[in-house]
C-alpha cells in the first residue's frame, strides 16, 4: 500500500470514527512519505475529535518512529491491546497496514521499487 492510499483511507475512516489504532505489525518498511501519511491521518482524527494511535511496529519501523513520531510526544504502543487501553476504552477502529509504506514511482509495487 502506498502512502497516498494510506492517507486517503485514514481520512475516510477519521470522518466516520475518529478514534483510530493503526496496527503496524505487518509493516516492514516506512519512509518519510509514510510518516507524513500517518501524520495527516492523525491530524484528520484530531480535527474530528479523536486521535490516531500506532501499535505493534516491527523493529525497523519502530526505530524510524522513535526518531520522528515520538519527538512530537506521540507514543508508539507495543500492541493493539496496549493502544486500546491507553485510549481510555473509547470505541476505536483498528486499521492493519502490511508490507511497505512508501511512495512508489510510476505506481510500481514496493518490491518493484526495490523494497521488500
pTM of the prediction?
0.76
What pLDDT is recorded for position 57? Answer: 95
What pLDDT is recorded for position 103? Answer: 37
Query: What would the grid cell of residue 21 be?
Result: 489504532
pLDDT average, residue stretch 22-40: 93
CA distance 104 to 55: 24
pLDDT class for 107, splitting at 50, 70, 90? very low
Going along the chain from its start, the domains and CATH numbers come out as 3-103 (3.30.750.24)
Amino acid at each position: 500500500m502506498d502512502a497516498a492510499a494510506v492517507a486517503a483511507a485514514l481520512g475516510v475512516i477519521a470522518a466516520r470514527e475518529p478514534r483510530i489504532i493503526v496496527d503496524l505489525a505487518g509493516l516492514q518498511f516506512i519512509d518519510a512519505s509514510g510518516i507524513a501519511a500517518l501524520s495527516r491521518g492523525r491530524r484528520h482524527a484530531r480535527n474530528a475529535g479523536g486521535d490516531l494511535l500506532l501499535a505493534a511496529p516491527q523493529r525497523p519501523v519502530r526505530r524510524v518512529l522513535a526518531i520522528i513520531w515520538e519527538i512530537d510526544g506521540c507514543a508508539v504502543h507495543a500492541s493493539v491491546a496496549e493502544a486500546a487501553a491507553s485510549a481510555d476504552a473509547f470505541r476505536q477502529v483498528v486499521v492493519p497496514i502490511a508490507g511497505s509504506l512508501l511512495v512508489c514511482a510510476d505506481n510500481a509495487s514496493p518490491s518493484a521499487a526495490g523494497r521488500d
